Amino acid sequence: MTKKQFGIIFTLMALIVCVGVLSMKLNENGYNDPTSLEAVLKQNTDNTKTDAATEETLSTTEYFYSMRLTKEQQDEKYVDDMKAITEDANASQESKDIANNALVEKAKMQDQESRVESEIRNKGYEDALCMINDNKTVKVYVKVEDVLSEENSAVIKKVVEDITTLTDIDITSMK
């Protein structure tokens, strides 16, 4: 082994060690993402000693996480299926165009969903989940402390209409 090869290997090993030490330091000081699965699982095990209200909040939090995960998985599968059609050499040009248009429409819907969710959170709600179906209906889940009032429901509906231009909106409040 030459000196140059030894230097490269030594440098790479030093970088690996530095990244490992940095990772340990960051995770010790609480730089964990609160939306990560690890944080949810840790909360779940720590909550065995909590009262019923906290357990109810955790179950709602878990609901939002699981619904968001399910939605993302369905979206990924849909996008993968459409990409497979567009890249298929045996597919007709018409089916490739349809799949390509579906990909563009899906990206537009995902953008609108994320904009609606962030706008609702900006209105002071703890969490929100928006799903736009292919038949142009919008389903919005909002995490609230109490029952969602008519006025608040109208504000959320206005936000959704402004962003998506769709009027078939179903709003569900979650405690």
Containing H/E element for 171?
strand 169-174
Where does the pLDDT of residue 149 fall: very low under 50, low under 70, confident under 90, or very high at 90 and above? confident
pLDDT digit string, tens, across residues 62-74? 888 888 899 999 9
- Amino acid found at 123: K
Candidates 102, 111, 112, 127; CA nearest to 165 is 112
Candidates 171, 136, 138; CA nearest to 156 is 171
Domains of the chain as residue ranges with CATH: 50-174 (1.10.287.4300)
Q: Is the pTM of this model over 0.85?
A: no
Where does the pLDDT of residue 130 fall: very low under 50, low under 70, confident under 90, or very high at 90 and above? very high
pLDDT digit string, tens, across residues 1-59? 788 888 888 888 888 887 877 777 666 644 444 444 444 445 444 444 444 444 455 57
